[in-house]
Amino acid sequence: MTYHKHECDWMCERLAAYLEGDLAPEEQAAADAHLVSCAACRAVLAELRTIVAQAASLPPLNPSRDLWAGIESRIGTRVRPLGAPSARRAARRPWPLAIAAAALIALTAGATYLLTTRSGTTPASTVATVTQPPVQTRDSADATARPVLQRVAPVPVPPSGPKLVSTTKKDVNAARVYDREIALLDSLVRSRGNELDPKTVKVIEKNLSIIDSAITESRAALAKDPRSPLLNNRLDNVLGSKVELLRTIAFLPSQS
């Protein structure tokens, strides 16, 4: 059956309202009647309905990489579980760990001193490199991939090494250096695993949580007023408190 073009144009103008169910009853009836006998308009309508149906059932998408590291770095330093990996491993190798802890603490203390005195004019020791986890594919089973600590001992490096924490006067960034220090100490504390008394761990976690809240608040205030010396000092002090607490934890005696 052949239809006049103007009838299809009429239908075309009402397709949106037809799909939305917005047509008045008499127009709805006229449109239905047209659709019954016009294959072209029926086809257009069917295609539009297919698009609507497909849109409503689109599958979720995954990013090409794990985005958590970037988020975590922007919301402040993380608090990791203290009762993690292996008490057995720690028990088997107490001395290397103690030596590494002493070296690391000496190192972080030096770096923090340089940082807080703001007097460093020569490149300070390198403290660590942190490598982001590999790109997470949609099949990756490790959904909690985190930055991996590669090195905890100082190594001689050129002052401009791209991944290194430098404390030259020019590019020192107090908060970032503190974050690195905290990450290193945090890693060390975490590696002590179940050595510590659970009650002590609980108190430590509570204190760390309070300090982290203070860090978050200080950063938020600083974001609004980045040039405030008071706020900068406050953030430095809070970060310093966290470093001190983590150092203390690193030297706490194991539970007997």
Partner 1 sequence: MTATATEVVPITTIDQGSTDVARAASGDRRAFEQVYRAHLQHVYSLCVRMTGDRTRAEELTQDVFVRAWEKLSTFRGESAFSTWLHRLTVNVVLNERRVDGRDRGRMVSTDEAEEHDAPATSSAQPLHAERMDLEWAMAKLPRGARQVFVLHDVEGFTHEEIGTMLGVTAGGCKAQLHRARLLLREALTR
Interaction with partner 1 in 156-215: which residues (CB under 8 A)?
Answer: 209, 212-213
Asked if 144 interacts with partner 1 (CB under 8 A), we say yes
Q: Is 24 exposed, middle or buried (0-12, 13-18, 19+ CB in 10 A)?
A: exposed
- CB distance 150 to 128 below 8 Å: yes
Among 2, 25, 26, 59, binds partner 1 (CB under 8 A): 59
Window 5-24: residues binding partner 1 (CB under 8 A): 15-16, 19-20, 22
Which listed range, 48-56, 177-185, 235-243, 246-254, lies at the site for partner 1 (CB under 8 A)?
48-56
Answer for which of 51, 99, 155, 203 binds partner 1 (CB under 8 A) is 51
Packing angle, helices 94-117 and 174-191, rounded to 10: 170
Q: Is 149 in the site for partner 1 (CB under 8 A)?
A: no
151 is an interface residue for partner 1 by CB under 8 A: no
Residue 247's CB is within 10 A of a number of other CB atoms, namely: 19
CB of 213 to partner 1, least distance (A): 5
Quick one: 80 or 151, whose CB is closer to partner 1? 80
CA dihedral 253, 81, 104, 235 (to 10 degrees): -110
Span from 73-81, 102-110, 125-133, 156-164 in contact with partner 1 (CB under 8 A): 73-81
What is the Cα–Cα distance from 160 to 2, expressed in whole angstroms? 79
Question: Which of 9, 72, 142, 225 is the binder for partner 1 (CB under 8 A)?
Answer: 72
Cβ of residue 158: shortest distance to partner 1, in angstroms? 31
d(CA 16, CA 48): 10
Cβ 85 vs Cβ 188: under 8 Å: no
Distance CA 72, CA 146 (A): 10
| Nearest-approach distance from CB 212 to partner 1, in angstroms | 6
Cite the DSSP H helix spans in 118-197: 174-191
CA angle 234, 230, 220 (to 5 degrees): 60
The Cα–Cα gap between 179 and 185 comes to 10
Binding flag, residue 99, partner 1 (CB under 8 A): no
Closest of 105, 95, 39, 140 to residue 250, by C-alpha = 105
Q: How far apart are CA 72 and CA 242, in angstroms?
A: 17
Which of 81, 85, 94, 158 forms a contact with partner 1 (CB under 8 A)? 81
- 40 touching partner 1, by CB under 8 A: no
Q: Does 132 bind partner 1 (CB under 8 A)?
A: no
55 touches partner 1 (CB under 8 A): yes
Work out which of 39, 67, 99, 153 binds partner 1, going by CB under 8 A.
Answer: 67
Binding footprint of partner 1 on the chain (CB under 8 A): 15-16, 19-20, 22, 44, 47-48, 51-52, 54-65, 67-68, 70-72, 74-76, 78-81, 137-138, 143-144, 209, 212-213, 216, 220
